[in-house]
Amino acid sequence: MTDAPAKVTAHDVARLAGVSQSAVSRVFTPGASASKATAAKVRAAAEQLGYRPNPLARAMITGRTRIIGLVVAYLDNQFYPMAVERLSHALQDRGYHILVFMAGNATDKVPAVVQDLIDYRVDGIITASVAMSNDLTARLVALGIPVVNFNRGQDDARLTDITSDNVGGARQATEFLIAGGHTRIAHIMGWQGASTGRDRAEGFRQAMAAAGLDPVAMVDGMYNRDTAAVLARALCSGPDRPDAIFVGNDHMAFAVMDALRSDLGLRVPEDVSVVGYDDVPMAAWPAYALTTIRQPVNRMVAATVDALLGQIEGDATPQKLRIDGPLMVRRSARIPEGWTP
């Protein structure tokens, strides 16, 4: 039996590069200071020897893993794979990596996921559309683990929430439908257990009340494609169907449009106008051409990363940030006469 090759250490790299061991550590520590010349010598020596730094060993020394836990409710909504990808790139640019856990919308699954993240000694946690209880928040605060809610708010001053302006966006979408001459408007809401769903419903109510209109219906689509399709068929099967539907997100809006066209033989927007929320890439596809509120995902991601790393690396305080997004006008809803963006 042959002996396993000796493990290459940072000391070996330092000796070959002609630098101190602390210099090797600085070169392989994100954010640490090392001259270009030193970094070049160290990396050349590491490549020659086949050296790779051990992040777990470094974490034991520094107390930092440079891993961010990302808890996601679901990925079937096209908004979240896009957001997760951009969060990952933004964190990598700052020397961090993400560890993704799925929790679903069932709050009873969240405590076990959070415990897993604590066990992995993550430096911080981003929750993307996951409901956090006050008990969990208190536990994380006591452990000194920063938390930022992405696209979800929580009534807890200890947490940072980064969302679009859901109330204002929903109000803008509804006002657009009203300006187009619609008077019988329904809202297929996002899950009412989520702040995003409640806030968008509130924006819809405000716009309808300001116009002196009563909603035809406000029903919970649960952010679920099948549920939204069932509700659309129920709303539009009879003679008193709505002339417009504001849908709580694009994922459900696509299902609504499919149900109206394929199942009921209705035309969009001639018979029923449809407006969504998110502006995922599919919204621009000619098959849908969905009028929708654009979530400012790049600004939301940048704000989330800045807020979380500000807490990890400094003394940033929690904040409640609402970022407005534009209405993207396409062909799924009647365009008001003389309307200009």
215 CB neighbour count, 10 Å cutoff? 18
Give the start-to-end residue ranges of the domains of the chain.
Answer: 10-53, 67-164+297-323, 166-295
DSSP-derived secondary structure for 72-108: ES-SSSTHHHHHHHHHHHHHHHTT-EEEEEE--S-GG
Residue appearing with tokens 């000694």: 121
Q: What is the DSSP letter of 5?
A: P
Output the CATH code of domain 166-295: 3.40.50.2300
Global pTM exceeds 0.85: no
Cα–Cα distance measured from residue 112 to residue 115, given in angstroms and rounded to the nearest whole number? 5
User: Is there a common fold for 67-164+297-323 and 166-295?
Assistant: yes
- 67-164+297-323 belongs to which homologous superfamily? Response regulator (3.40.50.2300)
298 CB neighbour count, 10 Å cutoff? 12
Model confidence pLDDT, tens digit, residues 7-57: 788 888 889 889 888 888 788 776 677 888 888 988 898 888 887 776 555
CA end-to-end distance (rounded Å), the chain = 76
User: Quick one: how far is CA 74 from the chain centroid?
Assistant: 10
Model confidence pLDDT, tens digit, residues 115-170: 888 888 899 999 887 766 767 777 887 888 899 999 988 888 888 999 999 999 99
Q: HEC string of 170-212?
A: HHHHHHHHHHCCCCCEEEEECCCCCHHHHHHHHHHHHHHHHCC
Q: What is the DSSP letter of 287?
A: T
Cα–Cα distance measured from residue 95 to residue 64, given in angstroms and rounded to the nearest whole number? 12
